[in-house]
Each structure stands twice: as C-alpha cells, then as structure tokens.
Amino acid sequence: MALWRVHVELEDRPGRLGELARAVGGAGCNIISLHVVGEPADDGSVTDELLVKVPEGTDHTDLAGAIEAAGIPCTLIVPADAAELADGATTALALARMVAADPWSAPQAVATLLLARLVDPAAPRTGHSHTLRVGQRQVHLGRAWSFTATELSRAAALLELAAQLSLSGTRSHPVPTVDHILMLQDGSEVRLRAATEADAPLVTAMHARCSPATRNARFLSPAPRMEPEELTRLLGGLSGERRLGETRTVLALTVDGGSAVGMMNLEPATGDAAAFSVVVEDAWQGRGLGTALVRRAAEIATERGNDELTATTPTRNMQVTTLLRRAGLRPTAEISGGMLQVRAPLLTPAAVLSRRPGVA
C-alpha cells in the first residue's frame, strides 16, 4: 500500500464529507487521516488534507478522478511518508523541546513542522516557497504545495520561542546527543540516538503500535502493554547506559523526534559476548532500518571489547540471521530449549589489526 497526500476543496454543507469518503472508498482507497489546512474561502469552502492509503497496482490518478467525479476539486496529490502518521500535537511538542534546548535548531524545526525543506533563496525556485521573518532572522522554506496562513502562524510561534531564548540566554536541559541522521533505502530519514528514561512514553507507544507477531519476536509475548520493569531495565538513565557492562539502548526516531520507530538493545552476556535485540515498527520494516540497528549493535559491542554478538529468539524468527548477514557478519544458529540461539563473531580491534599486511 502506498501513502498519498491529497488536498480537496470541500463545500461547507451537510453530507459533503460523506460524499468525499464514498468517492475515496469507491476507488478502493482508505482515508487514514483528515484535517483542515486552509482558511475558509469567500464561498465557505475549506481546504482539507487527507492521507490516503492506495493499494498496490492502483494508479493515484484514478483516486483523483474519483474525487473529481463527485464534484469535489482535487488540488493536490503527492506521495506521503509513514512518518507523517505521527500525532501532530506530539510532533509539535517534540519540536518545541528541541528548540528550547537549542534555539539555533529553529529553522530545521520549522521545516519539519511544515513538512518542508530549507532552501537557498538565490537558487532557482521549484514548487512553492515562503520566507518567514522574526526579528533579524529569516527562514526560507520550500515544498511541493502552497503554505497556509494557519501553518505559517504555527511556524512563527517556534521562531519567536527561539528568539526569546536567544535574547534571555535561557537553556533547558539539553536533548540527548544525536548519533546521526540515517537515510533509509526508500529515501526517508530517522535519527539514531542513545535512549534515556525520558523516552519511556515513546517506547511504550511504539510497542503498542507493533503487531502481535513483531512483539512476540522481540519480547516473546504478543501483549500490547510493556511491563514497567522491562522499561526500567531497557531505559535505565543516561549515566547508567554509559557505564561499561550495562544495558545500552539506541532508538530510531522520526526526524522530529516525536515517535520511536525502532529500537536496539545491547546487554552483557556470558564471557566476552554481548546479547542484542532489535525491533522495528511494522510500518517501517523493509527499509533497511533493522540492518542499520544491527550494525550499530556491532559497533558498540566492538567498542566495549566484546568479541561476539548473541541473540535468543523464537525458532520461526530466522529474520535475525538475515539481518546479521546483511550487516556483514557471519552468524551460526542452533535450537536449544525450544528457542533459536544465534551467535555472530565480531571483528575486534585486535582481529582487524592482525589482518593488516605485514602484521603477524
């Protein structure tokens, strides 16, 4: 299923929204979300934005045609990303937190809020662009569809917050350090960073969104609720995570930081081995995120001096060995106690050195 953003001009009269829903359903598509993005026109119509799931093999132009056939103007239809399904209020709060911690991050926060990109004002323009000004600061934005006054007022509020913090010199506690931005196979991006106790709501929400099969493969239980003891063990404070031999958890977050979509846990095992586990939210699977998290596990384990990664998983979950191979490792597996026991040796610094030419 592909996800598309659709803008329609909807008249303000009883039953019109139902006609829109019938038109979309008649095209074999499903409305995931709908909200107003534009101000009322003189005739009372408003611009509604829909996120629509379009089945594979269905041309998005058929969807636009079905809407137009119902007498509803369709002004925009462009591809959307699963990250845009995140709750809007949560996203806005996460961006405000980012700006409070670092006022200089405001331009990127504004671009994320408006699903836009920062552009060079001197470069040739494509699509729609807008320049926001607050005090001496200018932010140049661009995207495929026009900006509304409502959206721009929200963005201006973020910029005003940044300006006030810059003048006062106020700083809140810094957000956790971002390891890096990772681009996935389909072009979408996630942030990889160390987790802290404050991330418990994000992890709990991701766990609930995962399918029973995904939860069972990672936590050996399909239950949608994660036990508080498990959360405490995985997200034991930032200082604890940095101590050698303690659990280390890395989160993959949407670029705005508002939703967790993947998680890697690394725990001490026997001897010089480190036990790892990875979970990726179903909507984000198949993009290379799981492989990237396994590579991060191997990097951290190597830095800590471990010489082997291990994993315990249900016997039907052979995906873990596939992820290890894609990450460049050579796993072996055996069934013990009704579970699949997986082991993968690491290239420790000493092993890498021994492979260099001229080194005995």
Cα 51 from Cα 56, distance rounded (Å): 16
The DSSP call for residue 103 is G
User: For position 325, what pLDDT does the model report?
Assistant: 92
Cα 247 from Cα 229, distance rounded (Å): 14
DSSP string, 175-237: PPPEEEEEE-TTS-EEEEEE--GGGHHHHHHHHHHS-HHHHHHHHS---SSPPHHHHHHHT--
Cα 251 from Cα 198, distance rounded (Å): 12
User: For position 176, what pLDDT does the model report?
Assistant: 46
Measured N-to-C along each axis, helices 60-69 and 16-26 cross at an angle, to the nearest 10 degrees, of: 140
Answer whether 250's CB lies under 8 Å from 277's CB: no
User: For position 168, what pLDDT does the model report?
Assistant: 61
In DSSP terms, 138 is beta-bridged to 133
User: For position 136, what pLDDT does the model report?
Assistant: 64
- For residue 23, what is the enclosing H or E element? helix 16-26
The DSSP call for residue 132 is E
The structure tokens listed for 75 are 């002004």
Q: Note the pTM of the prediction, 2 decimals.
A: 0.55
Structural domains of the chain in order of their starting residue, each with its CATH number = 2-80 (3.30.70.260), 85-168 (no CATH), 178-353 (3.40.630.30)
User: 3-class DSSP state for residue 243?
Assistant: coil
For the chain, 360 residues long, give each residue's pLDDT as a single digit of tens. 788 999 999 888 889 999 999 999 999 999 998 888 766 777 778 888 899 999 888 888 899 999 999 999 998 898 887 666 667 777 788 788 778 877 777 888 888 888 888 888 878 877 888 888 765 668 889 998 888 877 888 888 888 888 777 666 544 444 444 467 888 888 888 989 888 888 888 899 999 999 999 998 898 888 888 888 888 888 864 333 344 446 789 999 988 777 899 999 998 777 789 999 999 999 999 999 999 999 999 988 888 888 999 999 988 888 899 999 998 899 999 998 889 999 999 865 444 334 334 433
User: 3-class DSSP state for residue 56?
Assistant: coil
Cα 14 from Cα 201, distance rounded (Å): 39
The structure tokens listed for 296 are 């991060």
